């Protein structure tokens, strides 16, 4: 009996697709339902933001940093602020640092809510998405009162933050955090501990700790593989040394260590830790100025600097070179999503197409961060 002739299908999961997080393209070589390989194709959202920095100057670049990763814009703001301050030797007042941390941690919760919500939607459950977005809307309302915008905040400035906390905001923020805790537990009973959801995610895209370090993964992706590395703990900056919080690490309790379920649960636990950080910061915030005196035409001395910020997607590195004029010579951002795209090709061998969607969602890839 002759063998059956089979062919390998080449599919295109194109830039327009309801589930790739932004404009990403994958060329999938599949044998029926099981994939041989999925080759990512990035670059659809490249906007030359790093080049624009050389034209607009230090102060003017702050709104552009929002667009590097619009889901967690506070961290990009903080990164650029810290890079410019390091170049210019400026110190941020303590109340300014606390305001930065409060805004950043709220943004971390918002970004993780979006991430877990879209992950649930990609797996098929539509309800957790709307619940997560509802909670995110409440955070957006809070930040709108703080700085006037809901997505691209432009909240921080070189030397501090742009606005102080409005009167009455602390109470509203604490009331919201009080409301968020039981909602997170309810979210967990709805979807995180659902047997179908767990079965979809365990053993999918297992990344060992060694692989995670070799492929430059950062943030929750790295911590889910068991590596306890968090910039807030290991290379502390701002006022994080004064705050008491845990760093959640994946434990493989549902499936294997480093699978998609671990990455998901690390994000859920990080949200709870952020709530703890926020409660402490809102209570401990000192009085004083929030913005240091920085000249309008800011000319840092020639030199280079590198800062790292723990954003929602991981270790975001900002590298700036100054040549003594008011415009930076070179700015470079190193984001976590770009590294995560590098590991997709290796992980996709042997997965099913439905698993590819779960894998990309669990790596929390945001297209503007990859392409800038």
Partner 1 sequence: MGAVATYLGNIRQTVSSIFEGMAVTASHFVRKPYTVQYPDRMPIRVQDTLPFRYRGILEVDLEICTGCLACERACPIDCIVIVAEKHPQTKSMVLSQFDIDIAKCMFCGLCSEPCPTGSIHHTTEFEGADFSLESLIRRFVKEPVAAYRPKKGPETDPRIAPILSRGMNFLTQWAQPGGEKPPADEEAA
Partner 2 sequence: MQQLADHLIASGLFGAHPPRDLIYALIIFVLCLVVFMGIAFPFAAIVTWVERRVWARIQSRVGPNRVGPNGFLQWLADGVKLACKEDIIPNQADPRLFKAAPYLVMIAYVLPWAVVPFSSDLILADLNVGILYMTAVTALTVVGVLMAGWASNDKWSLIGGIRSAAQIVSYEIPAGLSIFPVVLITGTLSMQGIIRAQGWAPNNWFLFNNPFTFAAASILFISALAEGNRTPFDLPEAESELVAGYVTEYSGLRYLFFFMAEWGALFIIGAIVTALFLGGWQFPHLSHSRVVMNVLQLITFNVKVLSVVFLSMWIRATLPRVRIDQLMSLCWKYFVPMSFINLIGTALWVAIWPDGNPVAGYIMAVLAFVVLVIFLRRVIYYLRKSRMEIYVSPVI
Residues that bind partner 2 (CB under 8 A): 9, 11, 17-19, 32-33, 120-127, 129-131, 134, 179, 182-183, 185-186, 189-191, 194, 196-197, 199-200, 352-355, 357
Closest by CA position to 141, among listed 183, 118, 175, 187: 175
Burial annotation 295-304 (CB, 10 A radius, 16+ → b, else e): eeebbbeeee
* Residue with token string 């929602």: 312
Q: How far is the CB of 366 from partner 2 (least distance, A)?
A: 17
Select from partner 1, partner 2, none the partner in contact with residue 304, using the beta carbon and a kind-dependent cut-off of 5 to 8 Å.
Answer: none
- For partner 2, give the closer residue by CB, 2 or 16: 16
182 lies in the binding site for partner 1 (CB under 8 A): no
Q: Fill in the per-residue mask, 194 to 223: x = in contact with partner 1 (CB under 8 A), - = not in contact.
A: xxx---------------------------
Candidates 150-158, 312-320, 338-346, 354-362: pick the segment binding partner 1 (CB under 8 A): 150-158
Select from partner 2, partner 1, none the partner in contact with residue 110, using the beta carbon and a kind-dependent cut-off of 5 to 8 Å.
Answer: none
Question: From CA 239, how far away is CA 271, in angstroms rounded?
Answer: 19
- For partner 1, give the closer residue by CB, 29 or 150: 150
Q: How far is the CB of 278 from partner 2 (least distance, A)?
A: 19
- For partner 1, give the closer residue by CB, 121 or 340: 121
Dihedral of the alpha carbons of 126, 123, 249, 97, in degrees to the nearest 10: -40
283 lies in the binding site for partner 1 (CB under 8 A): no
Sign of CA dihedral 272, 161, 317, 284: negative
Question: From CA 310, how far away is CA 232, in angstroms rounded?
Answer: 6
- What's CA 19's distance to the chain center, in Å? 18
Q: How far is the CB of 15 from partner 2 (least distance, A)?
A: 13
Interface with partner 1 (CB under 8 A), residue from 206, 213, 279, 289:
289
Residues 6+ apart with CB under 8 A from 2: none
Q: What 3-state DSSP class applies to 27?
A: strand
How far is it between the farthest Cα atoms of the chain? 85
290 lies in the binding site for partner 1 (CB under 8 A): yes
Is the distance from CB of 243 to CB of 340 less than 8 angstroms?
A: no
Question: From CA 178, how far away is CA 138, in angstroms rounded?
Answer: 13
- For partner 1, give the closer residue by CB, 164 or 323: 164
Residues that bind partner 1 (CB under 8 A): 56-57, 59-64, 95-96, 127, 134, 137, 144-149, 152, 154, 157, 159-168, 186, 189-191, 193-196, 287-294, 296
């Amino acid at each position: 009996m002759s063998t059956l002739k089979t062919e390998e299908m080449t599919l295109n999961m194109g830039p327009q697709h309801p589930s790739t997080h932004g404009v990403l393209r994958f060329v999938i070589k599949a044998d029926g339902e099981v994939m041989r390989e999925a080759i990512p194709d990035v670059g659809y959202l490249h906007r030359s933001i790093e080049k624009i920095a050389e034209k607009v100057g230090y102060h003017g670049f702050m709104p552009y940093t929002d667009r590097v990763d619009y889901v967690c814009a506070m961290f990009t703001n903080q990164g650029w602020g810290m890079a410019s301050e390091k170049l210019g030797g400026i110190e941020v007042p303590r109340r300014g640092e606390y305001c930065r941390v409060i805004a950043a941690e709220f943004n971390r919760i918002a970004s993780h809510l979006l991430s877990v919500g879209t992950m649930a939607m990609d797996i098929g459950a539509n309800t957790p998405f709307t619940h997560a977005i509802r909670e995110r809307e409440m955070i957006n309302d809070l930040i709108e009162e703080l700085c006037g915008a809901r997505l691209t905040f432009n909240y921080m400035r070189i030397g501090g933050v742009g606005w102080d906390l409005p009167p009455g905001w602390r109470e509203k923020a604490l009331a919201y955090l009080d409301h968020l805790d039981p909602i997170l537990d309810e979210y967990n009973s709805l979807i995180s501990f659902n047997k179908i959801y767990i079965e979809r995610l365990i053993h999918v895209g297992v990344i060992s700790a060694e692989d995670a370090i070799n492929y430059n993964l950062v943030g929750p992706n790295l911590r889910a593989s068991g590596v306890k590395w968090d910039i807030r703990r290991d290379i502390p900056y701002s006022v994080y040394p004064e705050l008491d919080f845990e760093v959640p690490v994946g434990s493989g309790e549902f499936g294997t260590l480093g699978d998609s379920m671990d990455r998901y649960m690390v994000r859920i636990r990080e949200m709870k830790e952020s709530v703890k950080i926020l409660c402490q910061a809102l209570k401990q915030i000192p009085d004083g100025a929030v913005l240091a005196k920085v000249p309008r035409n800011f000319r840092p001395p020639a030199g280079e600097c590198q800062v790292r910020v723990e954003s929602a997607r991981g270790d975001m590195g900002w590298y700036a070179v100054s040549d003594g004029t008011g415009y930076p010579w070179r700015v470079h951002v190193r984001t976590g999503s770009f590294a995560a795209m590098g590991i997709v090709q290796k992980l996709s061998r042997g997965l099913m197409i439905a698993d590819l969607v779960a894998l990309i969602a669990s790596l929390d890839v945001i297209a503007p961060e990859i392409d800038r």
